Amino acid sequence: MNEAANLFTILRNSADPSVADAIERTVSEGSDRDLCRINALAFAKKHGLDEEDTLAGFLHAASIGAFDISWNVLCPGCGGVLDTNASLKTVIREEYVCALCAAAYSPTLDELVEVTFTVSPRVRRVAGHSPHELPMMEYLRQMYWGSGVDLPEENYEQVMESMVIEYVEVPAREKVVLSLQLPEKFIIVFEPITHAVQFIDVKGEATKERQSLSLIYDREHAHSQTLEMRPGQVRIAIENHTDLRVLPAVFVADDELHGLLARRRPFVTAKRLLTNQTFRDLYRTDTVDVDQRLKITSLTFLFTDLRGSTELYERVGDLVAFDLVQAHFKVLNEIVASEAGAVVKTIGDAVMATFPTPDRAVAAAIRMREAMRELNRKSGREDLLLKIGVHEGPCIAVAMNDRQDYFGQTVNIASRVQGLATSQSIFVTGTVVGDAKSADLLAAKNIEPISQDLALRGIERAVQIYAIP
């Protein structure tokens, strides 16, 4: 049995069988493009698979060495990849600049860091493993643009060529001269390897005199001021001072290009991966470095605690109480994972979990409450009474005690809300019930949140609290 077949045999023992089959089939029959920087959500949609099962499948495939994970810092404007990292630990810059959009961005984990999967060369070697040998159009598709840009599959090159006047490959330390006709348009000369950009505003009367432009690529000057030129012939002298080839292309920046880049699709964000239980189980320490402080603009926290657990141990004895508590943990872990969440940690009989969106946390909370009622019905006693609190807001991803954790006022508020909750009602904040998907979920279950006139200890600002009966 060859190595690839052996790896997929191992994968079937941990991943959903239909996901494992789809991944193996793609490795065997897919194009090189299909196996470079895979968008797990798009893969799930294409093959009719569950998103969470698919993401778990790729994570298991990566854990056994069949795929490599890439953490890519994105430009929200053009969707380009500004930096590629084999680990989140190397996303360390406070600001990333997109020369194409002439803008700078802080790498928040919500939408500006994507996670993709590329087949390992030990399983199958694809063109993307040698990016500096890719043709210009494929380099743009596979290396520059992120997996959230919804590029056409069938006629990609024809679409691109309709927007590009000319492009050329300039080998390392060499010079090339381009001669072309400038239309009366806004022109962008973009080089995707060095990310260098030259804007040219072509306007006015056409000229028969040949115009000249000199471009030097040395990785030092990514962006120059916009030049004004007239329609007509232009001679572009290009010098490559780097040790790699460069691929300058002359784009017409009109509605067609803007429309192409505006086509977006969902992709796996760093936030979604950090709140994924499979990822936390497989990559316990390989997440955030101890000195990193990575921002998340919106994350939902759910805290639980067993009411009267001390009395429970006194009432039924240590062994019975321990078994009950462990059964409660098992059920909560399963519910969290099934709602796209992850358990961050347990503290005594309490659980801290995160979810990518408020509605998933609310769904989990309702299921948790019902699960505890079911466990109590089976035992014939009210032994497991769960207090649940949910809050959503910004936070910072940090490393604490060799584990990935979270810090900030959002975490504090979520914990305080849980402290106020009763075993009958789930307590959530206004940002949670104000979420459109949460509201739809509660409406579908005919649940009307009840406003609570309560204050949170140690929290100065007013926080609106609701009970979910």
Q: Is the pLDDT of residue 316 over 70?
A: no
Give dist(CA 35, CA 24) in Å, integer: 11
- Check if the beta carbon of residue 468 is closer than 8 Å to that of residue 447: yes
399: confidence class by pLDDT, cuts 50, 70, 90: confident
- In the chain, the percentage of residues whose pLDDT exceeds 90 is 77
Looking at per-residue pLDDT, the higher value among 323 and 266 belongs to 266
pLDDT tens digits, 197-249: 999 999 999 999 989 999 999 977 566 689 999 999 999 999 999 999 999 99
For the chain, how far is it from start to end, CA to CA, in angstroms?
Answer: 57
Q: What is the mean pLDDT of residues 412-430?
A: 92
- Cα–Cα distance list, 340 to 46, 108, 354, 400 (Å): 20, 20, 9, 23
pLDDT on residue 1: 46
Q: What is the mean pLDDT of residues 105-121?
A: 95
Query: Is the whole-model pTM more than 0.85?
Result: yes
Burial status of residue 424 (CB atoms within 10 A of its CB: 0-12, 13-18, 19 or more): exposed
pLDDT tens digits, 333-389: 999 999 999 999 998 889 999 999 999 999 999 999 999 988 888 877 777 789 999
- Check if the beta carbon of residue 168 is closer than 8 Å to that of residue 248: yes
β-partners of residue 353 are 302, 343
- Averaged pLDDT of the chain: 92
Q: Is the pLDDT of residue 314 over 80?
A: no
Q: Is the pLDDT of residue 251 over 70?
A: yes
pLDDT on residue 422: 84
Amino acid identity of residue 197, one-letter, is V
Specify the 3-state DSSP secondary structure of 235. Answer: strand
- Check if the beta carbon of residue 250 is closer than 8 Å to that of residue 199: no
Looking at per-residue pLDDT, the higher value among 321 and 422 belongs to 422
Q: Is the pLDDT of residue 256 over 80?
A: yes
Give dist(CA 193, CA 100) in Å, integer: 12
Query: Which residues in the chain are classed under CATH 3.30.70.1230?
Result: 285-468
Helices (H), 13-128: 17-29, 40-47, 51-63
CATH topology for the 285-468 domain:
Alpha-Beta Plaits (3.30.70)
pLDDT on residue 222: 60
Q: Which residue has the tokens 């390897």?
A: 193
Q: Is the pLDDT of residue 185 over 90?
A: yes
Question: Do strands 175-182 and 196-202 pair parallel, antiparallel, or not at all (unpaired)?
Answer: unpaired
Q: Which of 31-35, 104-108, 158-162, 290-294 has the lowest mean pLDDT?
A: 290-294
Amino acid identity of residue 420, one-letter, is L
